Chains A and B, each alone.
Chain A
Amino acid sequence: MLLLECPWCGGRNASEFAYAGEPMPRPDPESAGPAEWRGYLYLRANRCGWTRERWYHRAGCRRFFEIERNTQTHELRPVGGGAGGPDE
């Protein structure tokens, strides 16, 4: 079981959450070309090790938040600044 630490609700089973992917800056619609949009929509780093992820607590507070997860060990750590939480 993967226990995710929601900044609002505390530790909850990962089945309560929806994975929302790696946070990526949205391209500027005025200047972005097809290649940039393709990269934004489809290409992910998918790295082995520490990665920053967005999750949606769909069965709880219904908020998006960011967390760092080690994709090799499933170790979790909060993102500095409480992104998505009450302290952001």
Chain B
Amino acid sequence: MSEPNAGAPAPVARGPIRPPGPTRVEAGWEAGGQRRDGPVVLVDHTPLAKIQVKAAYDGEAARILGVPFGRAVRGGVGDLVVGSGPGEWLALGPPGTQHALRGRLDGALAPAAARELVTTVDLTHGRAMMRLTGARAAEVLTMLCAIDLDDRRTPDGTAFRSLVAHLATDVIRDDRDGMPSYLLHCETSSGQYLFDCVVDAGREFGLVVSGP
């Protein structure tokens, strides 16, 4: 366990995943580890703002969000809006912006909420999130997940929920600078387990754990 830096602000929140190195505080969250590069890189992104929206899958809210089930779209209300289930969406934003993001979502969905049941819930502190990036990231995930991750079946912008290391996990293909990249989203209590499983699976591919 690292010693807290003298004079540094105390973190308000800690994610479930053990930071890989010296820690610092970002947007109230304890973040750790230096940025490192490698053939496959795994980064803990638990502090990202995460707002879940539930509404009818074919209603007004669905039309406003404009993201169908199984797809993830950048831009719009959140940095990334994911159609994570039928009538279920996950909006992501930078760390510390969950209240603003939820406010934006509530505002945008107000016309729909007047006519149908729409709920927005802040899941930021209840879920873990990590990003796996690299040319061979799909090969690492294939060792843990039965879904076909070939580009033709799961191209950039695909989202699905399935078992990853026997754990119900949202998998979001969100490529960075043309490099295959996957966001993995699970319950907080399972975050360290999933992180460790991905590290184990990626060992033979030269996986490197990096800071955000």
- Residue total for B at the interface (Cβ-Cβ under 8 A): 13
Residues in A36-86 with C-beta less than 8 Å from chain B: 58-63, 86
Q: Which residue of B lies closest to A15 (CB)?
A: B163
Secondary structure at chain A's binding surface: helix, strand, loop or mixed? loop
Q: Which residue of B lies closest to A85 (CB)?
A: B86
In the A-B complex, the 9 residue pairs with the smallest Cβ-Cβ separation, listed nearest first, are A59-B168, A59-B163, A60-B161, A61-B85, A13-B146, A8-B86, A61-B86, A16-B163, A63-B86
Assess whether A60 is in contact with B162, with CB atoms less than 8 Å apart: yes
| Min CB gap A16→B, angstroms | 6
Query: Given A59-B168, A61-B86, A13 and B160 touching (CB < 8 A)?
Result: no
- B205 interface residue (CB < 8 Å to A): no
Q: Which residue of A lies closest to B161 (CB)?
A: A60
Assess whether A58 is in contact with B168, with CB atoms less than 8 Å apart: yes
Tally the A-B contacts, defined by beta carbons under 8 Å.
Answer: 34
- Residues on B lying within 8 angstroms of A by beta carbon are 57-58, 69-70, 85-86, 88, 146, 160-163, 168
Q: Which residues of B contact A60 (CB under 8 A)?
A: 160-162, 168
Q: Which residues of B contact A20 (CB under 8 A)?
A: none
| Min CB gap A57→B, angstroms | 9
- Give the complex CA separation of A63 and B70 in angstroms: 14
- Give the complex CA separation of A60 and B146 in angstroms: 12
Looking at the complex, which one of B57, B58, B69, B162 makes contact with A59 (CB distance below 8 Å)? Answer: B162
Q: Which residues of A contact B160 (CB under 8 A)?
A: 9, 60
- Give the complex CA separation of A12 and B168 in angstroms: 13
Assess whether B86 is in contact with A86, with CB atoms less than 8 Å apart: yes
Q: List 26 A-B contacts (CB under 8 A).
A: A8-B69, A8-B86, A9-B70, A9-B160, A9-B162, A12-B146, A12-B162, A13-B146, A15-B163, A16-B162, A58-B168, A59-B161, A59-B162, A59-B163, A60-B160, A60-B161, A60-B162, A60-B168, A61-B69, A61-B85, A61-B161, A62-B85, A63-B85, A63-B86, A86-B57, A86-B58
